[in-house]
Every structure is written in structure tokens, then in C-alpha cells.
Amino acid sequence: MLIGIDASRSTAPRLTGTERYSRAVIDALLTAGAAHRFRLYAREVVPSDPRAETVVIPRARLWTHLGLGPALRADPPDALFIPAHVLPFGVGLTGHPRAVVTLHDVGYRHFPAAHPLRQRLYLEASTWFSARRAQAVIADSRSCAADLQRFYGVPAGRITVAYPGPILAPMPPSDEGAALRAGLGVPADEHYLLFIGTQQPRKNLRRLLEALTRPALADARLVIVGGRGWGGEDPPAEAARLGVADRVRFLGYIGETEKAALLQGARALAMPSLYEGFGFPVLEAQAAGVPVVASNTSSLPEAAGEGALFVDPLDVEDIAHGLSRALNDDAARAEVIARGQVNVRRFSWERCAGQILDALQGGRP
């Protein structure tokens, strides 16, 4: 069988969760599907891979609909996998190629105010279209699958819950890690909380920063990794307004090696998101032996299992209490670290790719 894959997001210069998923799942599919032929559709020339042919579609705007769509009509594969939300117009109307799409989350439905109107309308329309036209839908979690059934009426029989695997950069030797952290302005002897994610309202940075004003976290320091996203919030200005700017470092987008070094030195990972479709930083922290403090909502309890301290993301006092336990309660730290390292073993890209291949071949979830 010839399987086409939208690889446009896997070559982005800055990888957020969706792009990292695309890159990892494509690699896993090419490895697991050796019995099939693969065709990758990309925006630009990518390094050649003997496991697949590549079709480059150099279009700057409306790439999916006016680039990928015509390419599929001109020479259709037997099946098509879209790793991130958007099917081209026309795909799914005839059932050929068989279309499978990963829909990562519908956070805009739960927290519409956390998304600009234009983006919310685009996400609503593209998710509605993809959910109805794809022959099979991949969800990263049972939480996401339930949302797709609730908001879009996708039958359970068309949804496969395929958990992603962890995305782990090798941990550097301790001296190299310390040097990398120092280069980022984080002293080697500094104990800090770490946040990883795009700065946008549903990541709940406003309440996380407010938690630093509570007595339980009076001396706590916070390192925030991730580029600025959408929304009207200004986290650095909020930190200054709250009087905690001297205890918060905003590092912006950094590479995987630097992120691994920050995880290596972190006292705990803070993930008080209002909504997550999955939450890769949870698995990264657990694998690195870093305690996780996460929201008790959406997919985070599902991803973290028993390997996290859970907090109410709407309750600043509860966030502060959970983070304080992660920083100062040695017994709680040891327990959550041990449970996290057991939990992360549940997740496998090989298993994820096998489930997607089954869906591409017409298998049921």
C-alpha cells in the first residue's frame, strides 16, 4: 500500500507540540510500516530518507488546500495520514484515498476566550471538516476522544486513541548541563521550577505567576521556556506587576539540548494548564526524574497517571500548595518521581504508529 503523509509541520524551524508530534510519529510510521511504501508531502526540500519518497510543494500560503490537495488529486496514494488537524478540501468525498487525521485537542471549545476570534473560527471550521470527512480519526487521549464525540458527534467507532510516545533529548553530562544552564543565565546552584510551553492564555501563566506571591513560594524561582503565542496576555509585564520579576526568567524558544539541560537542573515541572490535548512536557519530566505538578483537568491526569501532584488550575492557592510540596516535601518528591518513571514506560511511539497503520488499512480501533 502507498501511504501519503503530510510532512509539512515536521520541518518547521521551531517545533512546538504539534510539530514535534509530526516529526516523531512520521519517523515511527516509516520504521513500523516497512511492508508499505510511503510518500511524504513537504513544503521544502528535506534530507532524503530511503524509507520514503518526497514530494516538495513550495507554496507559501494555503499550502494544504491549494498545494497538497491538487497533488493528491493528480496522483493519489492509497491512504493519507494528516498528523495535525487539517484535511485538504475534497479529500474524504470519494473515500479515496482513505483519510486518517490526528485531532490533537479542542481547547478552544472549553476556553474560547483564550483564543483570538479569527483563530477560534479557523480551528472550529477545520476541526469540523476534518472530523466529518476523515474515514478514521486519531486522538491523543481518551479526554480528546470524548470531546470529539461531544462537540462534533464523531462516532466512537471512527476514533482511535493512540497515545504518543515521549520525546526525549539525551541528558547531557552534569558538567555540560551546568554550563548550558549558565549560558542561559541560570546559575548552577539555583533551585527552580520549570515551565515548558508556548506563552498563551490556556497555559495559565497568569495564575502560575500569581502563585509565586504566596508565602509558601516566597523564595521560589521560575524558569519559563517557550515562545510568545496568541492572546492579549503579557507574562513579563504580569510578573513585574506582581512584584516577582526578579524571580522569573523568560528564556523564549530554546533548542532540545538546552531544554534537556534545564530539565536536568529543575526542582519540579509546573504545568497548571487550563486544557491540554496530551502534554509532552509531563513525560519529558517524568523520564528525567523531575517531579510534575499538573492540572487535574483535561488529559493531564490521563497522561501523568499516578506520577504527578495534581492541582486545581483555577485555584492559585492550590497551585502554590502543590508547587511547595514539590519543592520542599522530600517524601512527596521521592514518591512522585518514582511513580513518574514507572508511568512514562506506558507510552511508545512504536505502539502509536502501529495503531495509526491499522487505521490507515481500515482496521477498527
Per-residue confidence at 365, pLDDT binned at 50, 70, 90?
very low
The model's pTM = 0.91
Mean pLDDT across 67-80: 93
Q: Which residues, 6 or more positions from 31, have their beta carbon under 8 angstroms from its beta carbon?
A: 51, 350, 353
Per residue in 32-46, pLDDT (tens digit) is: 999 999 999 998 887
Q: Which residues, 6 or more positions from 179, have their beta carbon under 8 angstroms from its beta carbon?
A: none
Instruction: State which amino acid sits at residue 53.
Output: E
Per residue in 287-338, pLDDT (tens digit) is: 999 999 999 999 999 999 999 999 999 999 999 999 999 999 999 999 999 9
| Predicted local distance difference test score (pLDDT) of residue 116 | 80
Mean pLDDT across 75-93: 87
Q: Assess contact for 322 and 311: CB atoms under 8 A.
A: yes
Closest CA to 92 of 149, 138, 131, 36: 131
| Predicted local distance difference test score (pLDDT) of residue 94 | 63
Q: Assess contact for 133 and 97: CB atoms under 8 A.
A: no
Per residue in 85-138, pLDDT (tens digit) is: 889 987 866 667 899 999 998 988 988 877 788 888 988 998 999 998 999 999
| Predicted local distance difference test score (pLDDT) of residue 361 | 93
Is pLDDT of 158 > 70?
A: yes
Classify 226 as helix, strand or coil: coil
| Predicted local distance difference test score (pLDDT) of residue 231 | 66
| Predicted local distance difference test score (pLDDT) of residue 181 | 94
Residue 314: left if φ>0, alpha if ψ -120 to 50, beta else—which one? alpha
Q: Where do the domains of the chain lie, and which CATH numbers do they carry? A: 2-165+348-360 (3.40.50.2000), 174-346 (3.40.50.2000)
* Alpha-carbon gap, residue 137 to 102, rounded angstroms: 6
| Predicted local distance difference test score (pLDDT) of residue 364 | 46
Is pLDDT of 354 > 80?
A: yes
- Between 94 and 56, the more confident residue is 56
